A = this chain, B = another copy of it.
Amino acid sequence: MELVFLGTGAGVPSKERNVSAIALKLLQEQNCIWLFDCGEATQHQILYTSIKPRKITKIFISHLHGDHIYGLPGLLSSRSFQGGDTPLTIYGPQGLKSFIETSLNISGTHLTYPLTVMEISHGSIIKDEEITVYIEELDHVIPSFGFRIVENDKPGELLVHKLKEMGIEPGPIYQEIKEKAFVETSNGKRIYRKDVIGENKKGRIITILGDTRLSSRFTSFAKNADVLVHESTFREDKEALAEQYFHSTTSQAARLAKESNCKHLILTHISSRYQKEENEQLLQEAQAIFPQTDLAHDFSTFTIK
Spell out A's residues near B (CB within 8 Å).
Answer: 11-15, 18, 40-41, 43-44, 47-48, 64-67, 69-71, 73-74, 77-78, 81-82, 95-96, 98-99, 102-103, 106-109, 141-142
Residues of B within 8 A of A96 (CB): 106
Given contacts A13-B44, A82-B12, A108-B64, contact A70 B69 (CB under 8 A): no
B108 touches A99 (CB 8 A): no
A12 touches B70 (CB 8 A): no
Complex Cα distance, B73 from A136, in Å, reads: 28
Residues of B within 8 A of A41 (CB): 40-41, 44
Given contacts A40-B44, A40-B71, contact A103 B99 (CB under 8 A): yes
Residues of B within 8 A of A70 (CB): 40, 70, 73-74, 77, 103, 107
Q: State the copy count for this chain.
A: 2
Complex Cα distance, B66 from A43, in Å, reads: 13
Complex Cα distance, B41 from A41, in Å, reads: 5
Which among B12, B47, B67 is the interface contact of A15 at CB below 8 angstroms? B47
Residues of B within 8 A of A67 (CB): 77
> Across the two chains, which residue of chain B brings its CB closest to A48?
B15
Residues of B within 8 A of A81 (CB): 11-12
CB distance from A93 to the nearest CB of B (A): 9
Residues of B within 8 A of A47 (CB): 13-15
The listed residue with most B CB atoms (<10 A of its CB), out of A12, A13, A40, A95, is A40
CB distance from A34 to the nearest CB of B (A): 21
Complex Cα distance, B12 from A81, in Å, reads: 8
CB distance from A63 to the nearest CB of B (A): 9
B12 touches A64 (CB 8 A): no
Given contacts A12-B82, A43-B13, contact A65 B99 (CB under 8 A): no
Which among B44, B103, B108, B141 is the interface contact of A18 at CB below 8 angstroms? B44
Given contacts A40-B40, A41-B44, A71-B40, contact A66 B12 (CB under 8 A): no
A141 touches B64 (CB 8 A): no
Residues of B within 8 A of A43 (CB): 12-13, 40
Complex Cα distance, B65 from A97, in Å, reads: 19
A66 touches B18 (CB 8 A): no
Given contacts A11-B81, A47-B15, A74-B66, contact A108 B141 (CB under 8 A): yes
Complex Cα distance, B23 from A40, in Å, reads: 20
Residues of B within 8 A of A106 (CB): 64, 69, 95-96, 98-99
